[in-house]
Amino acid sequence: MARRWVRWARGLWPAGLLASALLAAAIPPAQAAPTPTPTPTPEADDGRTAFRIEDPEITESSGLAVSRIHPGIVYTHNDSLGAPRVFAVGRDGETKATYTIAGAEARDWEGIALGKDGDGNPALFIGDIGDNLEGAWPTVYVYRVPEPRELRDQTLRATRYRFKYADGPRNAEALLINPRTNRLYVVSKEFAGGLYAAPRRLRTSRTNVLKRIANVPIWITDGAYAPDGSTFVLRTYYSAIVYRPPAKRITEFGLPDQQQGESIAYARDGRSLLVGSEGADSPVLRIPLPPKALPSPTPSTPGATRETGSAAEGSGFPLGPVILGIVAFIAVVIVAIIAVARRHH
């Protein structure tokens, strides 16, 4: 019996090679997109250290958000399994204030963004959206706290929003808020990544459903909207991809090497990016945006910005070829099985 299975497997070997070739031809590279594969540009190579996060309490900086109230202040947080805290870090890399978030759990914090509360006041949104077990958590949470008016250690009371994905649980590390509409978005970190839109109005009394509106490249570790809301950026470990809402891809460019590139935010002027990494004493780099990626205000009013989209629009990772490759693989294997079976008969 064992020898028969060995002969059967040998019979499949040529078919397997053919199937692998077809599948490899059908699946695009990890960063496949309408634009060519990115190479480091002069702008990307010119990354300089804006500051280093010196606080020994910050060892896994996993998100960045630039303050709208305090010039030169950037908010960050640790990744997971620590106290629910947000740190206000200055231009010199020193922590100016530590905010403890009451009513929150730090299960796997992965993103932070600036938005507004129900009264239009500046607010911080913190995404407990990580899921390293790829689907272990049926729901994820986002916490909203008022952006502090004072740079001093204090406790902030959180409003908690519960979310689930319309197409099932998944891992995510990017949380974005459009400053024009205050709408929240989550970007999954997976092979076939997706951009997910939250309901226009978030509710605390029920679960808010995240709906996929576009495909994005694999391994997105963070994202952010430009201050004027005309563009947004997503980052991988090695590159940045700039879009116009809802998901029209503009350009992609390389980022400098980092220990573990995790975070990204627009500087206050909207003309450069701040990119961060996990690790102790981690540097935050300032990367000038290439001209094509600079935000440009549109004539539309903030409320008129269209934020609907299909999964095909602006996709950074087309799924059609993947499906065709899988179908081809299955077809070749079936033909090989039939051929081998006939040979044994």
Confirm if 273 and 287 have CB atoms less than 8 A apart: yes
CA 223 centroid distance within chain: 5
The single-letter code of the amino acid at 218 is I
The total of other beta-carbon atoms located within 10 Å of residue 80's CB is 15
- Residues contacting 301, CB < 8 A, separation 6+: none
What is the DSSP annotation of 29-66?
PTT--SSPPP---HHHHT-EEEEE---TT-S----EEE
Confirm if 157 and 181 have CB atoms less than 8 A apart: no
Residues 18 and 78 in one domain: no
Confirm if 103 and 157 have CB atoms less than 8 A apart: yes
Compute the mean pLDDT over every residue in the chain, rounded to the nearest whole number: 80
Domain count, the chain: 2
Q: How confident is the model at residue 162 (pLDDT cuts 50, 70, 90)?
A: very high
Q: Give the model confidence (pLDDT) of 137-149 as tens digits.
A: 999 999 999 999 9
What is the DSSP annotation of 165-206?
ETT----EEEEEE-TTT--EEEEE-STT-EEEEPPSS--SSS
pLDDT at residue number 320: 40
Residue 248 lies in a domain: yes
Residue 199 lies in a domain: yes
pLDDT of 213 higher than 60: yes
- pTM score: 0.76
Residues 336 and 257 in one domain: no
Q: State the average pLDDT over residues 196-220.
A: 98
Residue 37 lies in a domain: no
Residues 290 and 329 in one domain: no
Residues 137 and 119 in one domain: yes
Question: What percent of the chain lies above the pLDDT cut of 90?
Answer: 67
Q: How confident is the model at residue 133 (pLDDT cuts 50, 70, 90)?
A: confident
Measured CA to CA, the distance from residue 345 to residue 338 in angstroms comes to 11
Surface-to-core class of residue 305, CB atoms within 10 Å of its CB (0-12 exposed, 13-18 middle, 19+ buried): middle
More confidently predicted of 236 and 309:
236
- SS3 at position 143: strand
pLDDT of 27 higher than 70: no
Residue located via tokens 């945006």: 289
Residues 254 and 334 in one domain: no
**Host domain of residue 21:** 2-28+324-344
Q: How confident is the model at residue 134 (pLDDT cuts 50, 70, 90)?
A: confident
Residues 337 and 192 in one domain: no
Residues 142 and 280 in one domain: yes
Question: Which residue spans within 180-295 are E strands per DSSP?
Answer: 184-188, 194-197, 208-215, 222-225, 232-235, 239-244, 248-254, 261-266, 272-277, 283-288
Residues 330 and 229 in one domain: no
Residues 181 and 300 in one domain: yes
- SS3 at position 93: coil
pLDDT at residue number 45: 39
Confirm if 221 and 261 have CB atoms less than 8 A apart: yes
State the CATH number of the domain containing residue 271.
2.120.10.30
Measured CA to CA, the distance from residue 156 to residue 145 in angstroms comes to 6
Surface-to-core class of residue 113, CB atoms within 10 Å of its CB (0-12 exposed, 13-18 middle, 19+ buried): buried
Residues 46 and 21 in one domain: no
pLDDT at residue number 14: 38
Residue located via tokens 């030169």: 72
Q: Give the model confidence (pLDDT) of 311-343 as tens digits.
A: 333 344 343 433 334 434 444 334 344 343 434
Q: Give the model confidence (pLDDT) of 259-307 as tens digits.
A: 899 999 999 999 999 999 998 899 999 999 999 999 776 544 344 444 4
